[in-house]
Structure 1
């Protein structure tokens, strides 16, 4: 049995971007469902490499964090609609989806800092050369409108185009990854964990027929959960009431999967829940929070970064696709000093990119670290603040990167984290995610 969901109208998007027929306006009643969220280095992942060592996975995670954060540059935020990082490695999460009718099964990276849903497709051949800019050229848009011959353009699913008009997209990423292809309407089906499958009709997806970069063999696609019009959250719309949540398992739980919840299943409530405003700035894609301070034991470090906007208006992005917690250098070094002062252990060398490592052969006590978001104090556990890079070496999970701040997924482990787009809040609840 399959539950069918028609997304709300994208008339503005259709008329100004796709120039295709309007969507079905019929909406299903608000519903809730959950899907499996697979860690990229789990044996359940099609990209799992049993030959990789812990050190290899850490190296991948560090590369992942420092390359992905480049997409948050203000110039990039203002000019790109569809953003994602297509390098698969430690620290990423995957989701199984089916596209088209009959359905074609595939797997893609889940990314809260992306909008576009895209997957690998075969090239669209012998298309018309009539090309026109989609937006004002002064906006430096990478999108172009192209007109194709429907009988000649076939995608991965061997079906002809449903319209003579299609929209071409082109995305370039800081780590030199890229995806180019055509936007189209199709049906996607999600395999839920406890209920019938859910199909979303007439959803806008990207068929990438020219993709590449550092991990070209692994760039199967992206499922964007960002705040823009093209994301899965926005396109499903009213049936899930703008709600989604997830509970990330510790990295040691390699044979288990986390859950990604939608609609009524995504409500975060009960004892211990704290909520903070969800702030939208220059880009509709990214989820900004406002961090007021960080406490290390009894020492409070006021957080004054305004690289994304004005004081109190959002200064850190919460991102499922970045591994580390990244701060501008000045704030990071003050934080590291406060942590190191309160730890009685032997410092050692570790992988390049981070600086605070300890010999883990002997157990030691770490100070309590609390993130003071506006209206929400989030007390981190040891697994959120330190992680093993070798069998005998543990590393501080915070890093320094230029001017921007990102709240990565290590800090989110064993928290049920809920996004409510309509109420504009993000909620945190300490949770044993293995039991959630």
Structure 2
């Protein structure tokens, strides 16, 4: 099935003809809502800043604990641990949805009426019978034949169905359908209508889903992710730039598509995306080494496959044991602070902050295949977990993950046509 993706996707583009209602040659941007932002349905005003930090770390560990490679699993983690949401609308007239954005998932789905076996959702649930543009995909359509998560449901008049399983046992299943998806361009404040978008209309959704959101917005490599379905109009390029998430007020972050997603700085070097045959819908890269000061820490290779997952939904970064141990040792040598116990068990290296005492965190250089080098500053490597403590935002784990703390103030651009990712250190708040 992995080998079919490129051919099947091109075939789908010919048959499916997803189109914009207006020209978007220059691309567009939409706001990403961090789950701890006051704009988020997850926001709890009674939580302290450091409670939110701790919750983010625990979500990250929970996500990593359920990570596994499985041909039959759409995404290999828990379905509700993403840190960013997107507000969009489905149907005609438009019905507003909050979806969890996940680069580790390749389907867009939401809860739908009738919802007899669904998780409790705070917001109203979409009723497809009230949308004049909603249609169920027939079994004979190419969309129903190209991936393992879609199949023919003969009990419903030969219409296509989908079933997505998650690493923690959660399941979403229902009708595989088409409808109009409407996004709001943050720069022009105008609606962007995506006609006949393939979307899962979930009537049976059970597991660890959060009641605050309506479903998942997949941005993965599969043919039915939002990024892939936009490819005919955007050239397959999208990017994001995460503003600092745990330092004072959370500023908006943005998801860019098309020309606006491109990195135009000539010194920025792309690194190839590598297909992991057991998780082909995810974005894997090859990290060659990490450098701290004069110490170069070599990263173990994984044959011809990627050795680190680029993940927007994981807070921490995870490294193989030997890499983590070497990184921790170099930090211990370089940071002139007193070590202390962590208030969060899984964070191993923490320091006590003393009022008036100056300290420096060394810059870590992440070296990727192809010559790409990413500078990781203190905002990328340490989290302030209390008023007087900071902890290294990395943890040991067999499967490496490059999480979103490490991606703060870095423009991350995905070119799915040329299969590359480009990193550019920048001030993400300058986009505001």
Whether TM-score is above 0.5 comes out as yes
Rounded to whole Å, the distance in 2 between the matches of 1:83 and 1:13 is: 25
Q: Does 1:235 align with 2:229?
A: yes
Equivalent residue number for residue 426 of structure 1: 421
Q: Does 1:146 align with 2:153?
A: yes
Q: Residues 397-416 of structure 1: matches in 2 within 5 Å?
A: 397-401=393-397, 403-416=398-411
* 8 A Cα contact 1:9 1:24, kept in partner: no
In structure 2, relative to structure 1, the CA distance for the partners of 1:192 and 1:377 (3 Å cut) is same
Q: CA offset at residue 268 of structure 1?
A: 0.7
* 8 A Cα contact 2:291 2:366, kept in partner: yes
Rounded to whole Å, the distance in 2 between the matches of 1:87 and 1:406 is: 18
SS in 1 for 2:165: strand
Q: Pairwise CA RMSD of aligned residues?
A: 2.9
Give the aligned length.
Answer: 389
Q: Residues 46-61 of structure 1: matches in 2 within 5 Å?
A: 46-61=41-56
Q: Deviation per CA, 1:221-277, whole angstroms, max 9, x where unpaired?
A: 111111111111111221100100111000125352111100011111226523211
Q: CA offset at residue 73 of structure 1?
A: 2.2
Rounded to whole Å, the distance in 2 between the matches of 1:277 and 1:29 is: 27
Rounded to whole Å, the distance in 2 between the matches of 1:324 and 1:238 is: 34
Q: Deviation per CA, 1:314-362, whole angstroms, max 9, x where unpaired?
A: 2111110111110122221121112112212111111111100111234
Q: Residues 353-392 of structure 1: matches in 2 within 5 Å?
A: 353-361=346-354, 362-374=357-369, 375-392=371-388
Query: Which deviates further from its counterpart, 269-278 or 348-357?
Result: 269-278
Rounded to whole Å, the distance in 1 between the matches of 2:416 and 2:290 is: 26
Equivalent residue number for residue 155 of structure 1: none
Q: Does 1:185 align with 2:181?
A: no
Q: Does 1:263 align with 2:258?
A: yes
* Structure 2 unaligned blocks of 5 or more: 1-6, 118-138, 140-147
In structure 2, relative to structure 1, the CA distance for the partners of 1:278 and 1:142 (3 Å cut) is closer
Rounded to whole Å, the distance in 1 between the matches of 2:418 and 2:180 is: 28
* 8 A Cα contact 1:9 1:23, kept in partner: no
* 8 A Cα contact 1:83 1:115, kept in partner: no
2:16 aligns with one of 20, 23, 35: 23
In structure 2, relative to structure 1, the CA distance for the partners of 1:11 and 1:227 (3 Å cut) is closer
List structure 1 runs of 4+ shifted beyond 6 angstroms.
Answer: 25-29
* 8 A Cα contact 1:417 1:426, kept in partner: yes
> If the length of structure 2 is used for normalisation, what is the TM-score?
0.82
Q: Does 1:38 align with 2:33?
A: yes
Rounded to whole Å, the distance in 2 between the matches of 1:399 and 1:202 is: 42
* 8 A Cα contact 1:296 1:338, kept in partner: yes
* 8 A Cα contact 1:120 1:207, kept in partner: yes
Q: Deviation per CA, 1:288-333, whole angstroms, max 9, x where unpaired?
A: 1111111111111111142xxx05x421111101111101222211
Q: CA offset at residue 284 of structure 1?
A: 2.6
2:313 aligns with one of 300, 321, 338: 321
Rounded to whole Å, the distance in 2 between the matches of 1:83 and 1:207 is: 21
Query: Which deviates further from its counterpart, 378-387 or 56-65?
Result: 56-65
SS in 1 for 2:220: coil
* 8 A Cα contact 1:9 1:25, kept in partner: no
Equivalent residue number for residue 198 of structure 1: 192
Query: Which deviates further from its counterpart, 278-287 or 231-240?
Result: 278-287
Q: Residues 6-21 of structure 1: matches in 2 within 5 Å?
A: none
Q: CA offset at residue 59 of structure 1?
A: 2.8
> If the length of structure 1 is used for normalisation, what is the TM-score?
0.82
1:294 aligns with one of 290, 311, 319: 290
In structure 2, relative to structure 1, the CA distance for the partners of 1:318 and 1:82 (3 Å cut) is closer
Rounded to whole Å, the distance in 1 between the matches of 2:393 and 2:201 is: 36
* 8 A Cα contact 2:115 2:204, kept in partner: no
Q: Deviation per CA, 1:52-84, whole angstroms, max 9, x where unpaired?
A: 22342233222222232356523x2x2224566
